Structure 1
Amino acid sequence: MYHVLVVEDELLIRDAVVEMVNQLDGFKVTGEAGSCEEGWRQLRELWPTVLITDIQLPDSDGLELIQRIRNDKLPVVAIIISGHDSFPYAQNAIRLHVSEYLLKPISEGELHEALARSVSRLEAIADSNRLLREIQSFIDDLQDNASIALFEQADRLLSRIYHLRGLEPGVKASYYRIFLSKLVEVVKVIHPDLPQADVPEDGSEHQVKQVFRDVLHEWIRRYPHFANNQMRLVIKRACDYIEAHLQDELGLKQMSDYCNLSPSYFGVLFKQYTGKSFVNYVNQIRMDKAMELLRDSDMKIYEVAEEVGFASLPYFNRVFKTVTTLTPNEYRRGLGV
Structure 2
Amino acid sequence: MYHILVAEDEPWIRSSVVEMVNRIGEETFTVSQATNGEEAWALIQESWPTVLITDIMMPMMDGLSLIQKIHEYGIPMAFIIISGYDNFQYAQKAIRYGVTEYLLKPVDLDQLREALRRSEQSIGSLKEISQYMSRFQQLVNSLGEITPQTAGRKMSDLIHSVLRLKHLNPAARLNLLRIFEWKLTGLVKELSPGQALPSIPADAEDTAIIRHFDQLAMLLIMHSAEQNKADTHLMTKRVCDYIQTHYKKDISLTEMAQYANMSISYFSSWFKRCTGRTLVQYIQEVRIEKAKQLLLETQLKNYEIAEQVGFATQPYFIRVFKNTVGVSPNSFRKRMGP
Indicate yes or no: 2:21 matched with 1:36. no
Q: Classify 1:223/1:312 alpha carbon distance in 2 versus 1 (closer, same or farther; 3 Å).
A: same
Q: Classify 1:296/1:199 alpha carbon distance in 2 versus 1 (closer, same or farther; 3 Å).
A: farther
Q: For residues 257-282 of structure 1, give each alpha carbon's deviation from its aligned partner in whole angstroms, at most 9, with x where no partner exists.
A: 33333333333332222222233223
2:23 is matched with: 23
CA offset at residue 30 of structure 1?
0.9
2:78 is matched with: 77
- The percent of aligned pairs where both chains have the same amino acid is 38
2:3 is matched with: 3
Could you tell me how far apart the structure 2 residues matched to 1:236 and 1:189 are?
22
Could you tell me how far apart the structure 1 residues matched to 2:271 and 2:227 are?
14
SS of structure 2 residue aligned to 1:6:
strand
CA offset at residue 151 of structure 1?
0.8
Residues 152 and 217 in structure 2, CA contact (< 8 A), matched pair in contact too: yes
CA offset at residue 238 of structure 1?
2.0
Could you tell me how far apart the structure 2 residues matched to 1:248 and 1:19 are?
19
Residues 7 and 52 in structure 1, CA contact (< 8 A), matched pair in contact too: yes
Residues 161 and 172 in structure 1, CA contact (< 8 A), matched pair in contact too: yes
Q: 1:289-300 counterparts in 2 under 5 A?
A: 289-300=290-301
Q: Classify 1:58/1:327 alpha carbon distance in 2 versus 1 (closer, same or farther; 3 Å).
A: farther
1:262 is matched with: 263
Q: For residues 209-232 of structure 1, give each alpha carbon's deviation from its aligned partner in whole angstroms, at most 9, with x where no partner exists.
A: 222222332344455554343233
SS of structure 1 residue aligned to 2:5:
strand
Q: Classify 1:23/1:233 alpha carbon distance in 2 versus 1 (closer, same or farther; 3 Å).
A: closer
> Quick check: 180-189 or 60-69, which moved more?
180-189
1:231 is matched with: 232
Could you tell me how far apart the structure 2 residues matched to 1:197 and 1:278 are?
33
Could you tell me how far apart the structure 2 residues matched to 1:152 and 1:133 are?
17
Q: 1:36-115 counterparts in 2 under 5 A?
A: 36-84=37-85, 88-89=89-90, 91-115=92-116
**TM-score under structure 1 length normalisation:** 0.85
**TM-score under structure 2 length normalisation:** 0.84
Q: Classify 1:201/1:260 alpha carbon distance in 2 versus 1 (closer, same or farther; 3 Å).
A: same
CA offset at residue 189 of structure 1?
5.6
Of the two structures, which has the highest relative contact order with CA contacts closer than 8 Å and spacing of 6 or more? 2
Could you tell me how far apart the structure 2 residues matched to 1:79 and 1:96 are?
12
> Quick check: 254-263 or 128-137, which moved more?
254-263
Could you tell me how far apart the structure 2 residues matched to 1:133 and 1:103 are?
31
Q: Classify 1:67/1:155 alpha carbon distance in 2 versus 1 (closer, same or farther; 3 Å).
A: same
2:272 is matched with: 271
Could you tell me how far apart the structure 2 residues matched to 1:4 and 1:99 are?
16
Q: 1:1-337 counterparts in 2 under 5 A?
A: 1-25=1-25, 27-84=28-85, 88-89=89-90, 91-164=92-165, 167=169, 169=171, 171-188=172-189, 191-221=192-222, 223-224=224-225, 226-336=227-337
SS of structure 2 residue aligned to 1:67:
helix
> Quick check: 216-225 or 37-46, which moved more?
216-225
SS of structure 1 residue aligned to 2:311:
coil
SS of structure 1 residue aligned to 2:103:
strand
User: Which structure 2 residue ranges, 5 or more long, are not aligned?
Assistant: none
Structure 2 residue identity aligned to 1:10: E
Structure 2 residue identity aligned to 1:301: N
Q: Classify 1:220/1:76 alpha carbon distance in 2 versus 1 (closer, same or farther; 3 Å).
A: closer
CA offset at residue 190 of structure 1?
5.1
Structure 1 residue identity aligned to 2:24: L
Residues 8 and 58 in structure 2, CA contact (< 8 A), matched pair in contact too: yes
Could you tell me how far apart the structure 2 residues matched to 1:50 and 1:256 are?
25
Residues 37 and 58 in structure 2, CA contact (< 8 A), matched pair in contact too: yes
Could you tell me how far apart the structure 2 residues matched to 1:106 and 1:249 are?
21
> Quick check: 132-141 or 221-230, which moved more?
221-230
Residues 200 and 207 in structure 1, CA contact (< 8 A), matched pair in contact too: no
CA offset at residue 136 of structure 1?
1.3
Q: Classify 1:148/1:249 alpha carbon distance in 2 versus 1 (closer, same or farther; 3 Å).
A: same
Q: Classify 1:268/1:195 alpha carbon distance in 2 versus 1 (closer, same or farther; 3 Å).
A: farther
Residues 290 and 304 in structure 1, CA contact (< 8 A), matched pair in contact too: yes
Residues 76 and 126 in structure 2, CA contact (< 8 A), matched pair in contact too: yes
> Quick check: 153-162 or 116-125, which moved more?
116-125
Structure 2 residue identity aligned to 1:9: D
> Quick check: 82-91 or 142-151, which moved more?
82-91
